[in-house]
Amino acid sequence: MAKLEPAPMMTRLRRLNMAAYAPFIALLLLVIFSSIASDTFLMPRNITNVLRQVSYTGIIALGMTFVIIAGGIDLSVGSMVAVVGVLTIMIINGAGDGWWAVAMAVSSAIALGGVFGALNGLIITRGKVASFIATLATMSIFRSMALYISDAGEMVSTNAHFSDIGGGYLWGIPYPVWVFLLLAAVYHILLKHSAFGRHVCAIGSNPKVASYSAIKVRWVYFQTFVIAGASVGIAAVLLTSRLNSISPSDAGIFYELDAIAAVVIGGTALSGGKGTIWGTVIGVIILGIINNMLNLMGISPYLQGMVKGLVILIAVLVQFKGDR
Amino acid sequence: MTPPIMQVQNIVKEFSGVRVLHNINLDIHAGEVLGVLGENGAGKSTLLKIISGIYPLTSGQIKIDGKLVEIRSTSDAKRLGIAMIPQEFNLISTLNVFENIFLGNEVKKGLLLDKAAMREKAARLLTELATELSPDALVENLSVAEKQMVEIAKALVNDSRILIMDEPTTVLTDHEVEIFFSLVDTLKQRGVTLIFISHKLKEVKLLCDRLAILRDGYLVSLDDVSEINEQDMARKMVGRELNQIYPSRREPSDHVVLKVSHLAIKGVLNDINFELKKGEVLGFAGLIGAGRTETAEAVMGLRKKDAGEIEINGQYATINSIADALSYHLAYLSEDRQGKGLIMNSDIPKNITLISLAAYVKGLIRQKKENAVAQEYVKRFDIKAASLHTNLINLSGGNQQKVYLSKWMDTHPNILILDEPTRGIDVNTKKEIYHFIHSLTEQGVSVIVISSELEEIMGLSHRVIVMRSGEIMGELIGDAINEKEIMYYAAGLKTMKQA
């Protein structure tokens, strides 16, 4: 009888899909290179800074991972940061000066993100609009909402405690970084060890097979946009708190691109069906280190976009090679 | 005999250290039709993929017209006059016939396409192939057989001398198969050499000049077709006597488990009525497009019904979604294994538990339990795979089908609907599946088998329903089941007034 044992170590190594580990290897090489090229790179202060800088787009990228694995894309996340940020400041300023006002602002930011995500999800699953187009439209709508509500002016919090959540530290590590890592752990479990995560992969691989397997394809797809939205809500409130203010015109600009780039660099297929949360975490950190190193090495900020673009291209090329 | 057009010498192929082809030596003669037979996983597809440049060979050599050649890619193969016609056609559905025929081989006048010349050439070629297909027809409107014709024409435009076809007739209706047979004659007259894979022994016997039989990666025999009968073919493929492909049937009970009344879908199905008894195998025969799959999908809640009632064990059942069907312990294996059945880039356990996943979730998915259950199915169905975590794309068709069967068995069905359960599957696996169906009926499971292979329908069924154009034409029971009767009903030459 055919008894299928897990393959022995050697054959397993040989069968290892190198493309799957490419992000990890890339990160390792990047860290080695960076620590040689710059004395300051490995200093705890610098590392902490890098991690804090990437945590906002990182949290968004975590949510985006679900959307992309399910076969969609969400371009509205950057604008959503602005509109959630603006509304959060309004809520906290209206709610008074206590800690409870902060708690209310935080929970309503997450809820608002979820609602905006649900709006995206509804347009896509009920209206049957391709996610690219639907979120392109809401990207414009959300930005416009943020500008209109705030009258295009910077919104500043009057709550004395609000800035503590984005600016605080635990054991020397900023709160946003904790949130990013904690959320990554939770999402990892959700993606790899829950029925929902299994279903997300199934609908992204082959929606027809999924629907013939009694999976509620549209419902699962909808939920991925809610997750993306709620993640944006979390990122938005952390960012707003860190700055103690939000600019409706500048906040979240290009966040969608950074988030998508991180997901792709992390090895998640843009065609859907396959991907990992830890890959996205690595993708986020790679992007952060590259930015950091370009700064430390005094390279023109105008060139940073080019480097980022090249990294994305390489990531996608490696991915395609892995598929063949 | 003419000198060999192609010589395959000592070909060895390994996949990650596992040898799948052992020193294959084969001379192929110009203008002959060579059949390649073998069970799933015997290496026939691998061999032909090497010849057509899809896989590189591990060692050995290929000569064409006596000269050593290297076929590293499909474009190398194309240059050497070798074309492979895949089962899934590579046609652009939004282009018309002649544009597809000349795709990648366009005739130009200066910088522009010379459409008139291409259209005329295509028309001439199609006439030579004795088809009435118009060069201007849009490919998306073509039938499967017509698309195949376009693929063949495309190969001929490329001056292909060796045509490789992977199970060309499985997708064709009986009538289309006849046309295909005459096409093979036409191609032979043009001096084209044909190599084709098939699982249909009868067909191979009729079409081919010689037969190469592969087993476990070895070429076990190479015979003139006149010197080998079907029994021998089967024996050589399997390596032992194949006795009793179809198990003996036992009488089903009188208890009706499924009753479908007045089922209708506008423009698709019209007043479908039938009953299924406990432990029964009910065959659904008919030509492609007769409405059999649609009937199954309507019963399963996969298609919206315009009218009709379903009773399960005498109770009225509301089935508007596949989740409803599952709650009544209905199961349906689609004919489209890859398109609707399995996640091809996922592994065996994840596919098997995709529907029954809730049973494995206790807070989180119990992956140990999942793997253990998958392992049991692997053992029970003798699924051959490098490991439990091999992606399904790397399994042979027969093993994929077994995984698909496991996936639905894990929902513990009482009623199992199998749509073309053995399409593209070798004799041995077929036999295994037939015996499995039999053992299910002994356990009181009722099975509906939809099949275009009459032999299979006749060999398995207690009762046969014949459909045509969305209607039930007739029903045959026991000794009354025979090929002629079924064909009469299927062709609309005979009909039975329904009660």
Q: What does the pLDDT read at residue A316?
A: 77
Q: Do A209 and B339 touch (CB under 8 A)?
A: yes
- Cβ–Cβ contacts within 10 Å for residue A48, how many? 15
DSSP E strand boundaries for B153-254: 162-166, 193-197, 210-215, 218-224
Query: Do the Cβ atoms of A2 and B367 come within 8 Å?
Result: no
Task: State the Cα–Cα distance between residues B105 and A253, nearest whole angstrom.
Answer: 47
Determine the Cα–Cα distance for residues A225 and B266; give it in Å rounded to an integer.
Answer: 36
Q: Estimate to the nearest angstrom the gap between the alpha carbon of B288 and the chain centroid.
A: 13
Model pLDDT for residues B156-213, shown as the tens digit of each residue: 887 788 989 888 877 777 777 887 888 888 888 888 899 988 877 888 888 889 999 9
pLDDT at A167: 82
Contact B98, B122 (CB under 8 A): yes
Q: Cα(first)–Cα(last) distance of chain A, in Å?
A: 32
CB contact under 8 A, B340 and A202: no
In the block, tokens 């390596």 appear at B239
CB contact under 8 A, A212 and B322: yes
Length of chain B: 499
Judging by beta carbons within 10 Å of its beta carbon (0-12, 13-18, 19+), is residue A238 exposed, middle or buried?
buried
pLDDT at A179: 94
- Please list the alpha-helical segments (H only) found in chain A: 9-15, 18-37, 44-69, 77-95, 99-125, 131-150, 163-167, 175-193, 195-205, 207-212, 217-243, 255-265, 277-296, 301-323
Task: Give the length of chain A.
Answer: 324
Closest residue in B to A273 (Cα) is B345
H or E segment to which residue B465 belongs: strand B463-468
Exposure string for A200-217, b = 16+ CB within 10 A, e = fewer? bbbbbbbbbbbbbbbbeb
Confidence of residue B133 (pLDDT cuts 50, 70, 90): confident
Contact B382 A1 (CB under 8 A): yes
Please tell me the predicted confidence (pLDDT) of residue A101: 84
pLDDT of residue A301: 80
Q: Cβ contact (<8 Å) for A212 and B302? A: yes
- The pLDDT-based confidence of B84 (bands split at 50, 70, 90) is confident
- Residue B92 CA to residue B304 CA, distance in Å, equals 31
Instruction: Give pLDDT tens digits for A216-269.
Output: 999 999 999 999 999 999 999 999 988 888 888 888 888 999 999 999 888 888
B378 → closest Cβ in A2, A195, A273: A2
3-class SS at B78? Answer: helix
Run of H or E residues at B286? strand B281-286
Residue A5 with chain B: CB contacts under 8 Å: 387
User: Which tens digit of pLDDT belongs to each residue from B447-497?
Assistant: 999 988 888 888 888 999 999 888 898 898 888 888 778 888 887 777 775
Mean pLDDT for B271-284 is 92
DSSP annotation of A104 reads H
CA-CA-CA-CA torsion for A296, A301, A304, A306, nearest 10 degrees? -140
Q: Which CATH class is domain B256-490?
A: alpha beta
Instruction: For residue B357, give the DSSP letter.
Output: G
Higher pLDDT, B111 or A141: A141
DSSP for residue B426: -
Residue of A nearest to B303 (CA): A212
Q: What is the pLDDT averaged over residues B35-60? A: 85
Give the tokens for residue A313. Answer: 């291209």
CATH second-level architecture of B4-81+161-238? 3-Layer(aba) Sandwich (3.40)
Residues 81-140 of A with CB under 8 A from B: none
Return the pLDDT at A321: 59
Residue-wise pLDDT tens digits, B234-261: 778 776 655 567 777 778 888 999 999 9
Give me the amino acid identity at B396. S
In a mutagenesis test of the A interface, which of B40, B336, B364 is the best target, namely the one with the most A β-carbons within 10 Å?
B364
Chain B residues whose CB is inside 8 A of the A198 CB are: 350, 354, 357, 365
Alpha carbon of A87: minimum distance to chain B alpha carbons (Å): 35
**CB-based contact A105:A97 (threshold 8 Å):** no
**pLDDT value of residue B203:** 83
Residue B214 and residue B192: Cα distance in Å, rounded? 23
Show me where the domains of chain B are located: 4-81+161-238, 95-151, 256-490
Q: Do A213 and B321 touch (CB under 8 A)?
A: no
For B15-173, where are the alpha helices, taking DSSP H only? 44-51, 74-79, 97-101, 115-128, 144-157
User: Residue A298 carries which DSSP code?
Assistant: T
* Pair of tokens at residue A57: 């787009």
pLDDT (0 to 100) of residue B339: 86
Confidence of residue B138 (pLDDT cuts 50, 70, 90): confident
- Determine the 3-state secondary structure of B302 from DSSP: coil
Over chain B, what is the mean pLDDT?
85
pLDDT of the residue at B287 = 78
Q: What is the largest CA-CA distance in chain B?
A: 76
- Confidence at residue A13, expressed as pLDDT on a 0 to 100 scale: 45
B35 in Cβ contact with B198 (< 8 Å)? yes
Contacts of B343 in chain A (CB under 8 A): 201-202, 205-206, 209-210, 273
Interface contact A203, partner B, CB < 8 A: no
Regarding an ipTM greater than 0.85, the answer is no
> At A260, which amino acid appears?
I
Residue A2: the pLDDT is: 44
In terms of pLDDT, which residue wins out, B117 or B40?
B117
Distance CA A270, CA A263 (A): 9
Residue A297's pLDDT is what? 84
Tens digit of pLDDT for each residue in A197-219? 999 999 999 998 999 988 999 99
Domain regions of chain A by residue span: 52-323
pLDDT over 90 (residue B217): no
Please count the other Cβ atoms lying within 10 Å of the Cβ belonging to residue A316: 15
CA pair distance A167, B219, nearest whole angstrom: 72
Contact B346/B378 with Cβ under 8 angstroms? no
pLDDT tens digits in sequence order for chain A, 324 residues long: 344 444 444 444 444 555 567 788 888 888 898 888 888 888 888 888 899 989 999 999 999 999 999 999 999 999 999 999 999 999 988 887 888 888 888 999 999 999 999 999 999 999 889 999 999 999 999 999 999 998 888 888 887 788 888 888 889 889 999 999 999 999 999 999 999 999 999 999 999 899 998 899 999 999 999 999 999 999 999 999 888 888 888 888 889 999 999 998 888 888 888 899 999 999 999 989 988 888 888 888 888 888 888 888 887 787 665 544
pLDDT at B1: 52
Q: What is the pLDDT of residue B78?
A: 85
Quote the CA–CA distance of B191 and B81 in Å, as a whole number.
12
Residues 6+ apart with CB under 8 A from B359: B353, B410
What local confidence, expressed as pLDDT, does residue B243 receive? 54
b/e B429-462 (16+ beta carbons within 10 angstroms → b): bbbbbbebbbebbeeebbbbbbbbbbebbbbbbb
Pick the CATH number of A52-323 from 3.30.70, 1.10.3470, 3.40.50, 1.10.1750: 1.10.3470
Question: Which chain A residue's Cα is nearest to B338?
Answer: A209
Shortest alpha-carbon distance between residue B145 and chain A (Å): 25
Summarize the confidence of residues B35-44 as an average pLDDT: 81
Contact (CB, 8 A) for A212 and B302: yes
User: How far is C-alpha B379 from the chain's CA centre?
Assistant: 24
Q: Residue A7's pLDDT is what?
A: 45
A205, closest residue in chain B (CA to CA)? B343
Contact B345 A273 (CB under 8 A): yes
Q: Do B364 and A3 touch (CB under 8 A)?
A: no
